[in-house]
């Protein structure tokens, strides 16, 4: 059907017309060539993207697994799959989503209703958006504030050489058109920390949140809390080196969230989850020393540890805090007042731990479901500079794998096969270099240690427990889940 074939047909016809002596014996051939050329011009491939609306009634039309009875001719004809299972309904010519519809249990109708919020259009977010577009969801909203760099080309699949230097959302919008089948596409170029209220507004009109922004654990906590409050799935991913990790949590108020952990009390839960991010889980002397060094540099400005000193230190300390924004002073004031009873204007260095404990509680409490949606900005969360991507490396395979698995977990939750539908695993970590999940890799390494006599045999029992799934109940001590449950009541 190429242009060359059409040209050859037309040239043949022209040559025959130019040689009258050949016209009579080749009349039939000439007529056939002309008819074929005309057919090619008239017939165009049929492409239907709206068959779900025009030809199907979901969920009634979801394909069921139907077997041939043993006395049926089809069953007796052989042992192949087609001899055991009945075929799907006849294909509608041009139906783009036919191969998805014929998957047993797959509800294309519910897929096409989904409004998907993709936070971040980097190596993870762009690949999530690309996969969602091919899946045929209803709407994709992409948010980012970064620009497309030359080093992004190898793994951020919605950008091209011509897009280097452009805003990532603009590059993604331009290039997703080649992959988009029916989805409405929307892009937002903002700093999510500074314009959190806009993030909340978008989340309220979506059915799922994909988190691909790498701003540290406290950012992840904010997005997870928001998903819990609005009651939508929270799906996150990251990749580096040969590894990728994905997380899925349903958003159900009574089910496990990303911050559920085994602990007896909320106080222990706080320290277990967030102590590291507020310097309470490590050697406090390092923070005390950095504060002392900061004050030494600012000796003419700060002679004592007062509120202004603490605010500026938390803003400038990039190793642990890098907090900021208009709300930081208010939060520091509350934590400062709670760590002393005599209402002094300053604290001693030895009181820094107590201040940080109150600061941690103030920050975490302000981000709980019920509070998280009322905030206009969240620059006050700790988001220290993390290891640069270039230090560990990244490439297309783990990025694409993470994006595809994130969308796959969501599809499983919506319309998976009956044996696992609606209950994807909460966490998948895979090492592409080993070709194994982290659980398999850990078991293999531990088994080797047991074989060498380094570990006892009982060590294998601790790593063979089934991984939590989206239906796993929330932990009683989880402040985030408890706040969400109180909100629903």
pTM over 0.95: no
Cβ atoms within 10 A of the Cβ of 431, count? 16
> 183-223, pLDDT tens digit by residue?
999 999 999 999 999 999 999 999 999 999 999 999 999 99
Is the backbone of residue 94 left (phi > 0), alpha (psi -120 to 50) or beta?
Answer: left
Copy the structure tokens of residue 215: 């701003």
pLDDT tens, residue by residue, 31-80: 555 656 565 566 788 999 999 999 999 999 999 999 999 999 999 999 99
Place of tokens 């047991």: 450
**What's the pLDDT tens digit per position in 283-299?**
788 899 999 999 988 77
Strands ordered across the beta sheet of 184-189: 184-189, 139-144, 115-119, 208-211, 234-240, 243-249, 427-431, 436-437
What is the largest distance, in Å, between two alpha-carbon atoms of the chain? 117
Average pLDDT, the chain: 88
Q: What is the mean pLDDT of residues 134-161?
A: 95
Inform me whether the pLDDT recorded for 25 exceeds 50: no
Answer yes or no: is pLDDT of 16 > 50: no
């Amino acid at each position: 059907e190429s242009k060359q074939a059409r040209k050859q047909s037309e040239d043949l016809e022209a040559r025959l017309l130019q040689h009258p002596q050949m016209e009579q014996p080749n009349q039939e051939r000439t007529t056939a060539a002309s008819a074929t050329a005309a057919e090619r011009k008239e017939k165009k491939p049929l492409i239907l993207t709206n068959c779900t609306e025009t030809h199907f009634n979901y969920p009634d039309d979801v394909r069921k697994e139907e077997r041939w009875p043993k006395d049926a001719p089809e069953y007796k004809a052989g042992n192949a799959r087609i001899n055991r299972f009945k075929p799907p309904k006849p294909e509608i010519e041009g139906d783009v989503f036919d191969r998805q519809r014929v998957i047993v249990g797959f509800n294309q109708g519910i897929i096409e209703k989904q409004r998907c919020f993709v936070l971040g259009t980097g190596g993870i977010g762009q690949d999530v958006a690309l996969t969602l577009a091919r899946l045929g969801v209803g709407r994709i909203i992409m948010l980012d504030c970064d620009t497309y760099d030359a080093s992004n080309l190898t793994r951020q699949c919605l950008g091209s050489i011509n897009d280097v230097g452009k805003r990532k959302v603009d590059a993604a919008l331009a290039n997703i058109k080649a992959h988009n089948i029916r989805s409405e596409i929307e892009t937002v170029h903002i700093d999510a920390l500074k314009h959190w209220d806009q993030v909340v507004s978008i989340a309220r009109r979506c059915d799922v949140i994909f988190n691909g922004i790498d701003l540290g654990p406290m950012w992840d906590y904010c997005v997870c809390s928001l998903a819990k409050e609005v009651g939508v799935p929270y799906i996150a991913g990251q990749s580096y080196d040969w590894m990728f990790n994905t997380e899925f949590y349903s958003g159900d108020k009574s089910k496990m969230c990303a911050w559920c952990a085994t602990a007896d009390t909320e106080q222990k839960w706080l320290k277990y989850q967030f102590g590291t991010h507020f310097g309470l889980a490590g050697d406090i002397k390092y923070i005390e020393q950095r504060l002392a060094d900061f004050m030494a540099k600012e000796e003419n400005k700060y002679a004592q540890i007062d509120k202004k000193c603490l605010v500026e230190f938390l803003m400038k300390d990039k190793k642990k805090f890098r907090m900021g924004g208009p709300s930081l002073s208010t939060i520091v004031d509350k934590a400062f007042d709670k760590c002393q009873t005599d209402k002094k204007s300053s604290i001693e260095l030895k009181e820094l731990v107590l201040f940080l404990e109150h600061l941690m509680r103030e920050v975490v409490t302000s981000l709980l479901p019920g509070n998280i949606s009322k905030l206009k900005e969240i620059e006050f969360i700790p988001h220290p500079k993390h290891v640069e991507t270039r230090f560990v490396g990244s490439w297309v395979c783990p990025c694409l794998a993470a994006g595809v698995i994130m969308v796959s977990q969501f599809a499983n939750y919506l319309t998976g096969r009956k044996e696992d539908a609606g209950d994807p695993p909460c966490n998948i970590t895979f090492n592409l270099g080993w070709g194994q999940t982290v659980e398999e890799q850990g078991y293999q390494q531990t088994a080797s240690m047991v074989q060498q006599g380094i570990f006892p045999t009982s060590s294998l029992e601790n790593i063979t427990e089934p991984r939590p799934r989206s239906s796993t109940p929330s932990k009683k001590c989880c402040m985030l889940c408890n706040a969400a449950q109180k909100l629903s009541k």
